[in-house]
Amino acid sequence: MKGLADRVAIITGGGQGIGKAVTKQLLEAGAKVIIAEIDEEAAHEVEQEYADLGTVRFIAADVTDEASVKALMEETIRLFGRIDILMNNAGISANRPVTDLTLDTWNNVLAINLTGTFLCSKHAAPYLGRQHGVIINMGSTRTLMSEADTEAYSASKGGIVALTHALAISLGPKVRVNCISPGWIEVSPWKKKKFRKMPGITEADSMQHPVGRVGTPEDIASLVCYLASPESGFITGSNILVDGGMTRKMIYT
């Protein structure tokens, strides 16, 4: 991707799954990548695995803790002198019947997914503004459609979509802010080593999608690289669905 050489990117949750794929593609495009992770084992694995691709560093960070987030930004500036790209990717789910969903669980999901996105954006914004940088948030098709027992996750992702367009207006024109909402993305091969496995995708799984397959982390990473580059300079405040057309498919039983 053009225009990413020597840019400095922070990827929260960059040690596994989609975040790991984004780390790889940004490094291949010439960016320097900070893996902001609470899982040190996963982050160190990525550091070692991708060391030959470019400059990749792990900084321990808890996105729910404002002091930790502030320290993440300050350490990135100390190391590289700039921040060009922030990808708010860290997130969890805790799906269970709403009658069994405790307030602590609800608050924890929102703290990591939504409040973490807010805190990282807040503390990166002054540095991003100096570089006309970009923020890319991680939403979900759960903002538009649901399975049962996903209240905390769906609410957090809906909040991220709304936060995205609010930030785009508040931080523009110096910073562009967009959101990616993935559908079914198979991340099993992108987990840390002790949890890594080959996906068990069936033909029925694939054919639920109008494109004829389940998504991969690379599908999301490619869009991240585009949104992070000057080539997408007229896009801000958008939520982009990457779901193989699944949310557009009418299903009759």
Quote the pLDDT of residue 2. 78
| Tokens 């995205």 -> residue | 164
In a domain, 239, yes or no: yes
Q: For residue 252, what pLDDT is reported?
A: 79
Main-chain dihedrals φ then ψ at residue 172, nearest 5 degrees: -70, 155
Q: Kindly report the pTM of this predicted structure.
A: 0.96
Both tokens of 9, joined, read 């990117």
pLDDT tens track for 111-135: 999 999 999 999 999 999 999 999 9
**Is the alpha carbon torsion for 121, 217, 19, 79 positive or negative?**
negative
Distance CA 150, CA 172 (A): 33
Average pLDDT, the chain: 96
Q: Is the pLDDT of residue 253 over 70?
A: no
Q: What is the CATH number of the domain that holds 115?
A: 3.40.50.720
The 10s digit of each residue's pLDDT in 156-168 is 999 999 999 999 9
Question: What's the half-sphere exposure (Cβ side, CA atoms, 13 Å) at 156?
Answer: 28
- Catalytic residue numbers? 153
Question: 245's torsion region: left (phi>0), alpha (psi -120 to 50) or beta?
Answer: left
For residue 199, is pLDDT > 90? no
**Would you say residue 165 lies in a domain?**
yes
Kindly state whether residue 110 falls inside one of the protein's structural domains.
yes
- Look at residue 195 and tell me whether its pLDDT is greater than 90: no
The token pair at 119 is: 């805190």
Q: How confident is the model at residue 197 (pLDDT cuts 50, 70, 90)?
A: confident
Q: What is the pLDDT of residue 198?
A: 80
Residue with tokens 């902001």: 36
Q: Please check whether residue 226 is in contact with residue 27, taking contact to mean a CB–CB distance below 8 angstroms.
A: no
As for how many domains the chain has, the answer is 1
Q: Which amino acid is at 22?
A: V
pLDDT for the residue 83: 98
Residue 1 in any domain: the answer is no
> Can you give the residue range of the structural domain that contains 79?
8-248
The answer to whether residue 221 is domain-embedded is: yes
Rg (CA), the chain: 17
Evaluate whether residue 2 is within a structural domain.
Answer: no
Residue 209 has pLDDT above 80, yes or no: yes
